[in-house]
Amino acid sequence: MTIALGVPGELSARVPAEQRGPGLDRDAVRLLVSRGTEVSHHGFAELPRLLRAGDLLVVNTSPTLAAAVDGRIGHARVVVHFSTRGDDGRWAVELREPDGRGTTRARRESGARSAPRKGGDGRRAGIPAGTEVRLPGGARLVLEEPLSGRGERLWWARASGAEVLQVLGEHGRPIRYSYTERDQPLSVYQTVFALPSPDGSGSAEMPSAARPFTARLVAELVSRGIQIVPVTLHTGVASAEAHEPPYPERFAVPEASARSINAVKAGEGRVIAVGTTAVRAVESATGPDGVVRAARGWTDLVVTPERGVRTVDGLLTGLHEPEASHLLMLEAVAGRAAVDRAYEEALRGLYLWHEFGDVHLILPEESPHPERCDGNSW
């Protein structure tokens, strides 16, 4: 794959589109469109003309949390990234080091180094269980156990002294990585589809594929007969190690959304997920019979080419780094050759990567295509 050569740093989107020049809005990003291995170049504002009446967009309504909070272990400064709230009230967290420029880097020890990634330099932090982190407002966090046997990047931690959501609301800020230019207000990290959760839950990182949508664009889509239905999936913090698959995440597919998706599948329309999070939610709610049913809870589904997709016909997504597990999901939807071709073109065309960057619309080929779900197993 061409992108195995790496994505040049200058292709990282450092500020949101609306801050790149006067009069620009969120939809002032580029849109790469794939239909099989055929690729074309557009502006995101052209999206309504690229879809058809009867198509259906599945959007993630999870709001973004101010999930980064400063803390201290003894006299050492740390930044806590709150990833996911467990059913037992504990939080999955990642401890990181401030880098002095408003972002963070992975905590270091003398262990082996893995490939540098989005979240840091990839070295694992040697943090013992029982470590206490002091947070603002008198809150304390005690690390109890690693989230999984994969390593110690994420820990289950129990808070005391204050509710975590209160701490985030009063002292948190959006998680920010070093390729961005400066801190941004939380509103910059909310999509037009974000809705408050009854229990205050949300995503550690923005479901960014929906970021370019504006109210004006949504109105145009609806006026052209394109349906939009909601699902929810609260995202955790991004993988800091190459090839790290996603952790279990909380999701919900409402009954009304399931009915609409099934109706479109029974007709001539196409189901297009807005973001890999929407794919994970919808495919988690799809049975072996291909029927989507209302569902909520935790999903550990990892969509790969071997697993395939049962419901999703197309995908609107950002541009992902070479080792990101998201690329396997793209291959499940479009096939390896199509993803390779699109990313070659994105690099050649100097498209911008990451949450403030350009987006990629994957549509099915117009000609009949083979079944893509032969390898499914439940």
Same domain, 89 and 195: no
Do 57 and 85 share a domain, yes or no?
Answer: no
Q: What is the CATH number of the domain that holds 148?
A: 2.40.10
Instruction: Report pLDDT for 368.
Output: 55
Q: 55 and 137, same structural domain?
A: no
Q: Is 0.85 topped by the overall pTM? A: yes
Burial class from Cβ neighbours inside 10 Å (0-12, 13-18, 19+) for residue 132 reads: middle
Q: Is residue 202 part of a domain?
A: yes
The verdict on residue 3 lying in a domain is no
Tell me which of 171, 201, 225 is where a domain ends.
Answer: 171
Task: Please indicate, yes or no, if residue 115 is contained in any of the structural domains.
Answer: no
pLDDT at position 103 is: 75
Q: What is the pLDDT of residue 378?
A: 34
Question: Are both 275 and 336 inside the same structural domain?
Answer: yes
Tokens coding 200: 């205050």
* Separation between Cα atoms, residue 251 and residue 236, nearest integer Å: 12
> What integer pLDDT is reported at residue 131 of this predicted model?
95
pLDDT tens readout for residues 292-342: 999 999 999 999 999 999 999 999 999 987 766 788 899 999 999 999 999
Same-domain pairing of 204 and 252: yes
Does one domain contain both 293 and 321?
A: yes
* Domain end marker among 148, 171, 194: 171
- Domain of residue 132, residue span: 68-107+127-171
Query: In this structure, is residue 291 part of a structural domain?
Result: yes
Separation of alpha carbons 105 and 92, rounded Å: 18
Number of structural domains (the chain) is 2
- Same-domain pairing of 335 and 236: yes
Which of 116, 141, 171 is the last residue in one of the domains?
A: 171
The answer to whether residue 119 is domain-embedded is no
Check: CB of residue 237 under 8 Å from CB of residue 202. Answer: no
Comparing CA positions, the residue from 325, 302, 324, 327 lying closest to residue 315 is 327
Predicted pLDDT of residue 124: 47
Residue 344 placed within a domain: yes
79 backbone dihedrals φ, ψ, rounded to 5°: -120, 125
Same domain, 266 and 313: yes
**Angstrom distance (rounded) from CA 294 to CA 301:** 16
3-state percent breakdown (helix, strand, coil) of the chain, nearest 5? 25, 30, 50
Q: Are 176 and 68 in contact (CB under 8 A)?
A: yes
Q: Are residues 238 and 274 in the same domain?
A: yes
| Alpha helices, H only, the chain | 47-50, 164-171, 215-223, 255-266, 276-284, 326-334, 336-348
CA distance 338 to 39: 9
Asked if 162 and 241 sit in the same domain, the reply is no
Residues 47 and 155 in one domain: no
* 181, part of any domain: no
Confidence at residue 105, expressed as pLDDT on a 0 to 100 scale? 77
Those residues of the chain that have pLDDT short of 70 are 1-5, 107-126, 150-152, 239-244, 323-324, 367-378
**CA pair distance 236, 247, nearest whole angstrom:** 8
pLDDT digits (tens, 9 = 90+) for 217-255: 999 999 999 999 999 999 998 755 545 677 899 999 999
In a domain, residue 220? The reply is yes
Provide the pLDDT for residue 198. 87
Contacts (Cβ under 8 Å, ≥6 apart) of 178: 99, 101, 103, 105
CA dihedral 11, 273, 245, 172 (to 10 degrees): 70
pLDDT of the residue at 320 = 83
Query: What's 199's domain CATH number?
Result: 3.40.1780.10
User: Which residues contact residue 321 at a Cβ distance below 8 angstroms, ignoring those fewer than 6 apart?
Assistant: 7, 117, 118, 353
| Chain length of the chain | 378
Based on the domain organization, do 198 and 57 belong to the same domain? yes
